Structure 1
Amino acid sequence: MEDRCKPSLPSGVSCLLVLTQLLSWVTSKEFLVFGPSDPIVAVRGGEAILPCSVFPAMSLEDMEELRWFRTRFSEAVLVYRDQEEQKEGQMPEYSWRTTLVKDQFHQGKAAVRIQNVQASDSGIYVCHFKQGHVQEEAILELKVAVMGSVPEVHIKGPEDGGVCVVCMASGWYPKPQVHWRDSRGQNLSASLEIHHEDAEGLFSTETSLVVRDRSVGNVTCSTFNPILGQEKAMAMFIPEPFFPQASPWKPAFLVTLTTMGLLLLGTSYLLRRERFARREVQQKLGNLQSEKDELQKIKEDSLSSLFSGALWKEHGQRKATYNAAWRKAQLYADWRKEHFQPWTFTLDPDSAHPILAISQNRMSVTRKDSTMCLDDLFCVLGIKSISSGRYYWEVKLRHGDSSKWTLGVCREGVDRKGCFSECPDKGFWTVGRSSSGYWAYIDSGMASLSIREAPQSVGVFVDYTEGDISFYNMSDMSHLFSFHEASFSGNLFPYFRLKSGNVSMIINSLTCVSEGWEGEEGRRRRKRSRKGRKGKRAKRGKKLVLPPLKESPSAAGEGLVPGSCVVDSVPGEESPFLQHARDTLFP
């Protein structure tokens, strides 16, 4: 018996801990507001009930304020204050159509009844309960549906080698789904579908179908309401004489046309192949000439270096210049990764707005409803902070080129409620996209970003010691913007904001990237590559002489302005600085 009791002890302790945490959280919050998880369905002209309840259950008689509103707090559907309904602030379209259901006030439940439901009532609602300093909200969704007329089907006449059949229906909400089926119940593809919306918000549809198979016989047009799950259908019989008679010369014409097309394609292929072979030969000749010129130049430089006793001295100077210039020349994101450590973190659900959905592994964030527009900022922070050193991370964007978003870092304890400015003066260093393009948010306003390709992934590089924050487009490895000599104090947290649209932000795992640049295996690969280049030069019997390279007397970072890149190299091409520093200075 003791053996059977032992397994239940850990589970009982776990349940007790969870219950204790829940009670302590509820006590600190005093109460929570809940609404139905599924959408509320109502028929046009009927009534709809929008219920909300509090947990733990308590009487709502003395609640300071109960408010149901649409997308904005000021757009009130119903307001209950001082134990009576208030008409002040109520939208005119809901006046005299709404009443408060108080039958279950003593159980902590309240609801708004909307009579004579209209199609415009469909959408998102928010119930807001306030008691003292505690304010809690819940989100509800109302879907209004109308079953329209039975489809009218008629034969229009011959069209495109078959018979055109038209189906019309009116008075539906929302937009109905139209389906064509044959006598065997198989779906048929419509050739044209047109929808119209009248002044009352109801939809009319007109759909055309071209039937070319004489054996079809009957066709059925059905209109389906996706909310109510109901449909109305009408069948039509197509007599065989309505089908057009086939012309005997058409098959011969099609065969001739196909043969001519194949001949043209073959001729075009042969011409392109000959042109490609000629171009390849010319390219090989050009490469051979270039290699010959390069070898001649290397020979001349090697001979001149025999008369110079300062070769190794210049080698040391170039090496020192290479190590000191990486900060002054921003170059590309991959180049900076050699000097930054990857920063691994997850999203903090406690800092997220209720409208945001955090994934189970806390590596991505999306919006639960991309059409909702409340007076709030939908943002979330990373769970780990930076207080020293150099770190970087990457953020993948889905649908980022058609949405509004912001990402970067922010100082610990910044104000993220109400209306605030995401500028360095307020503790934010961010870039993002608005309806007018891509921007960096600075103290004086917004700095426009010039991009070659819409970023699918953005790299964030934070140099806490030097006060530098840089952003890169990881899609084409181009520089977006840099904040230089920023004033840091305290901890910096990764910052993400989803303003509008169906954008998703995903924190990219940097484990493989780190191992590729900083791991022992990466260093061994670079060492083997350098030995290979050195062996090739020795085999040629040539001695490489370094071309002159002057170090700029300006301090690190001089001449770099926000939003600019020092190296004018096209993405995908290696910069001349990297070519000399990697291949020449460190063989």
Structure 2
Amino acid sequence: MYPCIFFGVCLIILLCLPMTTGQSNLICSSQPIIALAGNDVILSCRLDPPISASSRAVEWTKPGLDPEYIHVHQDGRLVYQSQNPLYNYRTALFVDKLINGNVSMKLFRVKTSDAGKYKCFLPSLWKEAFIQLTVAAVSLPIVSLAGIDKATSGVVLQCNSTGWYPEPEVFWLDAEGKLLSAGPTETVRGPDDLYTVSSRVTVEKRHSNSFTCRVQQKNINQTRETKIHVPEDFFMAPSSCTGWTIFSGTSNQENQEISPSEDVVLEEADPDGRFLRLISKSTTNQVLGNCKIEVNKKDMVYSFPKGFILDAGKNVTKKGLMS
């Protein structure tokens, strides 16, 4: 009799105990999750083996934040009162998947300030796990022609890219993918923690005249690049009129030139020094940038802006400035 009573009591106790969940573990991604600023991201966590979390409280927190609660799901809904204001209307659970043990959280419109460690905690199971979020920001580089290097007859290219996080590297490549030697990269970090990088390179005439500026951040496996094709006419000889001195003509003296050029010659000069006209006799464009022409040695000076090009067979009229 006593064994039967004992057995009956044990059976009642067993029926009253909750189902054991000791076999189920909370598993989150072991690798950092990488998200681009402005995009949405899923912080993946699940119960394994799967058990329903539909009726359980699910707490997502960010340790160190005050308040630390990012998303608290209880009684089938989000508890707004406990949520950190920085995450208002930016979080959600997959409610229809809770029954399968999926307690992942979706974070909308990611910001760089969202980066850090997050904790998923199920109080009823006393299970917790951590997941790391890395936030990146990238932008497409802009490449432009910055000028002409008179010493090498090369073209100077400028590359700018704004809005990177973390700090990226800048590389220049030719059409075959070979690295080009460039000056040091200039880096500026803005008040929003985003980086702006810029770089210059001087390139010489090549078979294709195509060049690429590549900006990359290896830690987040992000690369952006822009290609530019430099017209062949931009690769010119040094300035055709550097060092010219012109004596304007009078009634008994013809125009004379010191250090004349065979490619660019004086077509007309006003006797009063108000203007002069140059003409290109060359079949290729001529660089007049940084060119300074003195008339009557000191009275009038004609100068051209950096990078100015006189097209082949064309002429240019320039007004003089008193020296």
What TM-score bracket applies, with the shorter chain setting the length? 0.5 to 0.7
Describe the SS at the equivalent of 2:51. Answer: coil
Equivalent residue, structure 1, for 2:54: 61
Describe the SS at the equivalent of 1:37. Answer: coil
Q: Report the Cα distance in structure 1 between the residues aligned to 2:130 and 2:151, rounded to whole angstroms.
A: 51
| Shift in alpha-carbon separation, 1:44–1:116, aligned structure 2, 3 A | same
| Shift in alpha-carbon separation, 1:153–1:124, aligned structure 2, 3 A | farther
- 1:545-556 alignment, distance < 5 Å: none
Equivalent residue, structure 2, for 1:98: 91
- 1:72-83 alignment, distance < 5 Å: 72=64, 74-83=67-76
For residue 116 of structure 1, the aligned residue among 81, 92, 109 is 109
Deviations along 1:66-93, one digit per CA (max 9) or x if unpaired, are 2222233752211223443223442221
Q: Report the Cα distance in structure 2 between the residues aligned to 1:206 and 1:136, rounded to whole angstroms.
A: 48
For residue 155 of structure 1, the aligned residue among 146, 154, 163 is 146
Q: Which amino acid aligns with 1:102?
A: V
- 1:378-397 alignment, distance < 5 Å: none
Does the CA-based 8 Å contact 2:145-2:155 persist in structure 1? no
Deviations along 1:502-553, one digit per CA (max 9) or x if unpaired, are xxxxxxxxxxxxxxxxxxxxxxxxxxxxxxxxxxxxxxxxxxxxxxxxxxxx
For residue 50 of structure 1, the aligned residue among 33, 36, 43 is 43
| Shift in alpha-carbon separation, 1:87–1:215, aligned structure 2, 3 A | same
- TM-score w.r.t. the length of structure 2 is 0.55
Describe the SS at the equivalent of 2:182. Answer: coil
Does the CA-based 8 Å contact 2:45-2:104 persist in structure 1? yes
Equivalent residue, structure 2, for 1:197: 189
Q: Report the Cα distance in structure 2 between the residues aligned to 1:121 and 1:40, rounded to whole angstroms.
A: 12
For residue 182 of structure 1, the aligned residue among 174, 179, 186 is 174
Q: Which amino acid aligns with 1:219?
A: F
Q: Which amino acid aligns with 2:101?
A: G
- 1:317-332 alignment, distance < 5 Å: none
In the TM superposition, what is the alpha-carbon distance from 1:223 to its structure 2 partner?
2.7
* Structure 1: gaps of 5 or more residues: 1-26, 246-587
| Shift in alpha-carbon separation, 1:192–1:185, aligned structure 2, 3 A | same
In the TM superposition, what is the alpha-carbon distance from 1:220 to its structure 2 partner?
2.1
Q: Which amino acid aligns with 2:225?
A: K
For residue 142 of structure 1, the aligned residue among 115, 133, 137 is 133
Q: Which amino acid aligns with 2:159?
A: C
Q: Report the Cα distance in structure 2 between the residues aligned to 1:152 and 1:141, rounded to whole angstroms.
A: 35
| Shift in alpha-carbon separation, 1:30–1:117, aligned structure 2, 3 A | same
1:241 equivalent to 2:232? Answer no
Describe the SS at the equivalent of 1:167. Answer: strand
Q: Which amino acid aligns with 2:235?
A: E
For residue 32 of structure 2, the aligned residue among 10, 30, 39 is 39
* Structure 2: gaps of 5 or more residues: 1-19, 241-323
Does the CA-based 8 Å contact 1:69-1:77 persist in structure 2? yes
Q: Report the Cα distance in structure 2 between the residues aligned to 1:71 and 1:121, rounded to whole angstroms.
A: 12
Q: Which amino acid aligns with 1:197?
A: R
More strand by share: 2
- TM-score w.r.t. the length of structure 1 is 0.32
- 1:75-474 alignment, distance < 5 Å: 75-131=68-124, 135-158=126-149, 164-211=156-203, 217-224=209-216, 226=218, 227=220, 229-237=222-230, 239-241=234-236
Does the CA-based 8 Å contact 2:50-2:100 persist in structure 1? yes
Q: Which amino acid aligns with 2:178?
A: Q
Q: Report the Cα distance in structure 2 between the residues aligned to 1:243 and 1:67, rounded to whole angstroms.
A: 70
Q: Report the Cα distance in structure 1 between the residues aligned to 2:52 and 2:144, rounded to whole angstroms.
A: 58
Identity of aligned residues (%): 25
Q: Report the Cα distance in structure 1 between the residues aligned to 2:227 and 2:110, rounded to whole angstroms.
A: 29
In the TM superposition, what is the alpha-carbon distance from 1:193 to its structure 2 partner?
0.7
Describe the SS at the equivalent of 1:103. Answer: helix
Does the CA-based 8 Å contact 2:143-2:228 persist in structure 1? no
What is the Cα-based RMSD across aligned positions, in Å?
3.4
| Shift in alpha-carbon separation, 1:234–1:215, aligned structure 2, 3 A | closer
Q: Which amino acid aligns with 1:195?
A: T
In the TM superposition, what is the alpha-carbon distance from 1:97 to its structure 2 partner?
1.4
In the TM superposition, what is the alpha-carbon distance from 1:174 to its structure 2 partner?
4.2
Q: Report the Cα distance in structure 2 between the residues aligned to 1:58 and 1:81, rounded to whole angstroms.
A: 17
Equivalent residue, structure 2, for 1:3: none
| Shift in alpha-carbon separation, 1:157–1:80, aligned structure 2, 3 A | same
Describe the SS at the equivalent of 1:106. Answer: helix
